[in-house]
Structure 1
Amino acid sequence: MAEGFIQSTNQKRCEEDLGNEYFMNLLSRSFSQDVKRDYTGDIVGCKMHDLIHDLAQFVAKDEYLLIKEKKEESTKDTIRHLSYDVLREDWEVPTSFLEFERLRTMLLLTHSFLCRMDHPVFDLVASKLKFLRVLNLSNSYMTKISKSIGKLKHLRFLDLSSNNIKQVPRTITKLHNLQTLNLGWNSSIRELPADISKLVSLRHLNLTCCNELERMPSNLGQLTSLQTLTNFVVDEREMHEKKASTRISELVELNNLRGSLTISGLKRLRSNPEEVESAKLKEKRHLQALSLYWDPFLFPSGEVSKNASDELILERLRPHHTIKGLLIKRFCGERLPDWIGNLVELRFLGLMDCSYLRSLPEGLRNLRSLETLSIHGCPFSADDVRQNFPHIPYVDII
């Protein structure tokens, strides 16, 4: 998508669906093989046949370049896609690649070694490589993003995952063509730019394992093209007097969401459980997996006590009946809602630290697609669960 290789003539079909069709056609012709799938059945990895790989390298030799350390660099004007294969921990990003001023792609393959893209080098990238569409700086141990990122006007795909970034500069919102922003595994990020709604082309926002994220930016709900939003943190509105709070109702218009969504901090809604219904999760028919955390972060925050409001909250968080994965953590009610028994395509159900649950829904007997029931920190014995729900192939209880 970022390179413009997917062209749709049908406005009703999104580029993601068309790209998936391309991939499945290649798979059927053995261009790709050995696919790996997640528990929802989606393909998450594959291999390319050696002969196909050799052919691809031959066909693309004038446009693609892989530079390894100590290897003489090419200066061909035709190079559009560049990768650096970094093998040493003390390697520094050279500036010689700036000769390729027509670059569309720049990948830094660091293998998790210490490789710094400091501000002076980044500023050079932003000033010289103005036509970049794809920039991958994952695993580069970055702690800050240069404000000059806003100069890359044509950028469509930006991967800053697995770094030590604490703050995303506001200038990133100048990237009006940006479709994919991957900030996953930056555990120190606390907030996103307040005016993120200016990223009008954004379709994929990956915040996986951004565990310190305190709130979502206001007007996030204006990004109605979003198909990926991995995390949504419920705001504690009595905090931050100077900043507009983000309500869970920001999710109401995001009906194109796919993949996995985690909503955390649900205990902050106990004083107003009616507000939860405004999220309209049951209208998000493309979602594959939903995780519901009552704590604001992935880790427990102190002792919990029974709370009847949690049952009202969970009742109103009913997802579309085609969801395939559901995880509930730190829920403090006594019973789960009946709608769980209507999730006819559910394959995975996880319950973690739900200390006050008295029983499991009888509707679980109707879920013939359910393959895994994982229960950790809940008052149920393995023997009782297996006896009452013998049709579930794998039951994991700790």
Structure 2
Amino acid sequence: MFIVYSLIWRWVAEGYAHEEPGKGLFEVGERYFNMLIDRSMILAVEEPYHNIIYACRVHDLVLDMIHFLSEDKSFVTASNSNRTFPRTTTRRLAINNEVIEQDGSVANSSMQQVRSYNAIMCHFRVLPLLSNFKALRVLALEECTFMGSKQFSMKPEDYPYHLKHLGRLIHLRYLGISYQLESLEVPDEIGDLRFLQVLELGRSGIKKLPQSVGRLTQLKCLHFGGSSMGVLDWTNLTSLEALQLHHVSPDFLKGLGTLKELRELNLHFGEHNNMLFKDLMGRLVNLQKLQVIVVICWYQEDPEPWSDYAGSVALGHLRHLTVCGLLPGLPVWINSSCLPNLCHLSMQLKAMESQDMEILGRFSELITLCIHCKDGVVFPHTMEGAFPKLRHLGLRNSNQPRFVRGVMSSLECFEFTGLVRANGLDFHSLAIRSHLPSLEEVDAEFEGKTGMDSDVRQATLRHWRQARASLKHAVEIHPNHPALTSRGRQMDD
């Protein structure tokens, strides 16, 4: 199985996707991917109830054909043993679950013809000497580890797994590193890779990037999980289509408005304040190609630093919006007029009004909705025709959910987390076929404050049993007999 996102960016780096008027390279690659699905060459793996294809696989017969053609045409050489010598005509080398020793054939072989070097779940004692590669376009180390890395007591640039001579890979388009790569650092010479298009370091353990990254004018995708991103000069990175950064400083926002080609934006802020959020929302207005926005801010229990942004954030292409940070209420710009194509919405709120669910119900394309609301989600008595395409609903810290006829008629999965109280939870509306005719799965978690007092603990357990019994009964009498998962969770006082 292959993750679609990474696969398409590999195609871009290999030169299989070509520019088309009005479309980015990733969008062209997506069209190729969909064509392969339509022709049954690859099989899509869809995230349940989300209408999102996140991975793909191939039938065994197709896989055998791929292996045969790859070997016959010397397209890819797959090495599964440290003793396997790659052919002199090898253009693409794939290594899976190997131990790469100091004197291993793969590590020391001169690979002047190799265009793509892919290592998956390998254990390195030494990296191949990068200066051996003359035509490399793709360098990918996925879920790899370095053995004995803690035993070395030397400068990082002297480690045998340091990216020494990285700047000599003048044809490199794709650099991807993930998982347990201790003490690995990116050298300043990365700025010399003027053709680099994809820098995938989201799970690499690398702590910082050199300022020379700001010289990568052809960069289209940057995923990085480290910090100190505010020091980079973003004015030259105007080709970026996808950007994911962790521990972002407020200084980063100064250059955000220049990245007008962005389709995907994923930001994690180490802290938040009122002005930071307003500044971010104000700059997003200029990024009209955005399709995905994920903003995560580590917040305290007090939501006061967040205030609503009163401006208009009209993004006609936006399909996915996640705001993980406690907002006092539903922002005014989250409505079907500003975001007409929104399909997936997830957010954390302090409180909701009854009209808020009515506003959300007008999103005609909404497929998934996840709301974490401290004070509970308020369901109005009537919302006829609301949420016409919603397939997945997740409510956390919610009060009594109430479903009515003609609302969420396409709902297939309902996830619920609620605090049980003395009055219990009655799931009667969940049981009526005409209310949720498409329901297939229910996942519920009941929370209760048990404390140390035995009477409180016994009362909470009793409330849990009552809520579970009500939910079980509702599921059993529903004509679809949806699958049920229920559990209880203790909360501290």
Normalised by the length of structure 1, the TM-score is 0.78
| Residue number among 96, 100, 103 corresponding to 1:85 in the alignment | 96
Equivalent in the alignment of 1:169: 187
Equivalent in the alignment of 2:291: 288
In 2, Cα distance between equivalents of 1:389 and 1:330: 33
1:199 CA drift (Å): 0.9
| Residue number among 337, 344, 359 corresponding to 2:340 in the alignment | 344
Change (3 A) 1:59 1:259: same
Residues 231 and 262 in structure 1, CA contact (< 8 A), matched pair in contact too:
yes
- Can you give the 5+ residue segments of structure 1 that lack an aligned partner in the other structure? 237-245
In 2, Cα distance between equivalents of 1:272 and 1:35: 38
Alignment of structure 1 residues 100-115 onto 2, 5 Å: 100-110=111-121, 115=123
Equivalent in the alignment of 2:249: 235
In 2, Cα distance between equivalents of 1:117 and 1:222: 37
| Residue number among 172, 181, 186 corresponding to 2:199 in the alignment | 181
1:210-230 Cα offsets, whole Å, 9 max, x none, are 2x5243443224311111102
Residues 272 and 297 in structure 2, CA contact (< 8 A), matched pair in contact too:
yes
Equivalent in the alignment of 2:70: 60
Equivalent in the alignment of 2:124: 116
Amino acid paired to 1:341: N
Equivalent in the alignment of 2:105: 96
Asked if 1:45 corresponds to 2:55, the answer is yes
In 2, Cα distance between equivalents of 1:38 and 1:251: 34
Indicate the structure with greater strand content. Answer: 2
Q: Which moved more, 1:383-392 or 1:372-381?
A: 383-392
Asked if 1:320 corresponds to 2:287, the answer is no
Residues 227 and 247 in structure 2, CA contact (< 8 A), matched pair in contact too:
yes
Amino acid paired to 1:293: I
Residues 171 and 193 in structure 2, CA contact (< 8 A), matched pair in contact too:
yes
Change (3 A) 1:321 1:266: farther
1:133 CA drift (Å): 0.8
SS at match of 1:341: coil
Equivalent in the alignment of 1:305: 302
Alignment of structure 1 residues 198-217 onto 2, 5 Å: 198-207=215-224, 210=225, 213-217=227-231
Equivalent in the alignment of 1:330: 325
1:311-354 Cα offsets, whole Å, 9 max, x none, are 24x44583614423322223253x222221223333333233x4
Amino acid paired to 2:341: E
In 2, Cα distance between equivalents of 1:31 and 1:374: 34
Residues 173 and 195 in structure 1, CA contact (< 8 A), matched pair in contact too:
yes
Equivalent in the alignment of 2:39: 29
Change (3 A) 1:138 1:71: same
SS at match of 1:99: coil
Asked if 1:276 corresponds to 2:253, the answer is no
Normalised by the length of structure 2, the TM-score is 0.64
Alignment RMSD (CA, Å):
3.2
Amino acid paired to 1:96: S
1:383 CA drift (Å): 4.7
Change (3 A) 1:54 1:294: closer
Change (3 A) 1:45 1:179: same
In 2, Cα distance between equivalents of 1:274 and 1:220: 20
In 1, Cα distance between equivalents of 2:177 and 2:312: 31
Larger RCO: 1 or 2 (CA < 8 Å, sep 6+): 1
In 2, Cα distance between equivalents of 1:256 and 1:273: 21
Change (3 A) 1:346 1:16: closer
1:81 CA drift (Å): 0.9
In 2, Cα distance between equivalents of 1:228 and 1:324: 14
Amino acid paired to 1:364: L
In 1, Cα distance between equivalents of 2:182 and 2:405: 45
| Residue number among 233, 249, 257 corresponding to 1:252 in the alignment | 257
1:109-153 Cα offsets, whole Å, 9 max, x none, are 22xx6x1253xx44x2x1111211111112222576424222211
| Residue number among 18, 35, 42 corresponding to 2:28 in the alignment | 18
1:274-303 Cα offsets, whole Å, 9 max, x none, are 533542x234344333222232xxxx5xx4
Residues 372 and 395 in structure 1, CA contact (< 8 A), matched pair in contact too:
no
Percent of paired sites with the same residue:
24
In 2, Cα distance between equivalents of 1:293 and 1:108: 31
| Residue number among 120, 136, 139 corresponding to 2:140 in the alignment | 136
1:22 CA drift (Å): 2.5
Amino acid paired to 1:135: L
In 1, Cα distance between equivalents of 2:215 and 2:48: 33
Change (3 A) 1:132 1:384: same
Change (3 A) 1:200 1:266: same
Highest CA radius of gyration, 1 or 2? 2
Residues 83 and 105 in structure 2, CA contact (< 8 A), matched pair in contact too:
no
SS at match of 1:155: coil
In 1, Cα distance between equivalents of 2:105 and 2:258: 46
SS at match of 2:361: helix
SS at match of 1:2: helix
Asked if 1:363 corresponds to 2:359, the answer is yes
SS at match of 1:183: strand
In 2, Cα distance between equivalents of 1:195 and 1:38: 41
Residues 375 and 397 in structure 1, CA contact (< 8 A), matched pair in contact too:
no
